[in-house]
Amino acid sequence: MHMADALISPAVGGAMWAATGVVAVYSIKKIQDDLDDKKVPLMGVMGAFVFAAQMINFAIPATGSSGHIGGGLLLAILLGPYAGFLAMSSVLLIQALFFGDGGLLAFGCNVFNLGFYTCFIAYPFIYKRLINKGITAKRIFTASMISTLIGLQLGAFSVVIETLLSGKTELPFITFVMLMQPIHLAIGFVEGLVSAAVITFVWKERPEILENASMGVAIGNVSIKKVFIGFAIAVILIGGVFSLFASSNPDGLEWSMYKTAGKTELEASTRIHDILSTIQSKTAFLPDYDFKTNESEIVTSTDIGTSTSGLVGGALTLILLAFIGFGINVIKRRNKLSVK
């Protein structure tokens, strides 16, 4: 559900950038209460895991479409909503800058659609309320499934609204929404299963991680070594190996666009679109998760390119989130010193 720049107008893109910036600043301020030296590496490896997992497109039977997990709810559950939002923002930034997945103008839209609704609506108002009577495997499954479905439905509907406000007449509201919502319902069902399985794994290994994230407190003396290693291995296997078997069918957004407008890409010719497209073509050294042979030609569907993209992208996401976590901790220490 990564929107390309051509789907939105500069006004909508700018407004969503501003909204995302406000939420990010707020999250940085709030996360200082529970960010410790153990949560930083957990943020990094979870972000890398979501990056790798998003490379696995699974086919939706009888539709000719495919989908991939969003990961926003999963990040919120394991890290808390503020760290989860920052982690999702980092994943999408790495994808847009270095892999050309999602537009730079549409970055704010993509963060909101995949991160805001899951971290700040589905997680606190649905997941936590369903699980507040005590964590069990059954409650994890039920809460994960329902909150994932609702979060993804909100994100899919937001895509439709953003294209409507951008004046994309090629995508009439009624037709587009009647395609976007059902296909993302099917995608959300699979993501719910994956989320429940991952959360159950963490709950069995280190239930304190879930409890502390829910209460908004630091991880403290809880060992995260086994969980960290488990996710690190998963990143390597998913990004480096399993990504080779991803479905080549168009994802839910592209499928809905094709059914609505007869094409999976729209055109936009404003100066802002052109400038950002030029910038992205220079920063994306592995466009479409493959090697770029020259300025205009891309080698497509090469196994080594896909595997390299999965591993490099996961590593870049981990490094970016570690840098963000380190920076926030520095700010927190300075604030404490200034109070003294």
Query: What does the domain layout of the chain look like in residue ranges?
Result: 5-339
Which one, of 67, 99, 60, lies nearest residue 253 by Cα?
A: 67
pLDDT of residue 340: 57
Walk along the chain (340 residues) and give the pLDDT tens digit of each residue: 899 999 999 999 999 999 999 999 999 999 987 788 888 999 999 999 999 999 999 999 999 999 999 999 999 999 999 999 999 999 999 999 999 999 999 999 999 999 999 999 999 999 999 998 888 999 999 999 999 999 999 999 999 999 999 999 999 999 999 999 999 999 999 999 999 999 999 999 999 998 888 888 888 888 899 999 999 999 999 999 999 999 999 999 999 999 999 999 998 879 999 999 999 999 999 999 988 766 544 445 578 989 999 999 999 999 999 999 999 888 888 877 766 5
Inter-helix orientation angle 81-99/271-283, to 10°: 90
Q: What is the pLDDT of residue 15?
A: 98
Instruction: Name the CATH code of domain 5-339 (choices 3.40.50.300, 1.10.1760.20, 3.30.530.20, 3.60.130.10).
Output: 1.10.1760.20
Q: What angle do CA 21, 23, 27 make, to 5 degrees?
A: 115
pLDDT of residue 278: 95
pLDDT at 301: 54
pTM for this one?
0.95
**pLDDT attached to residue 34:** 79
The reported pLDDT for the residue numbered 291 is: 86
Residue 294 pLDDT: 61
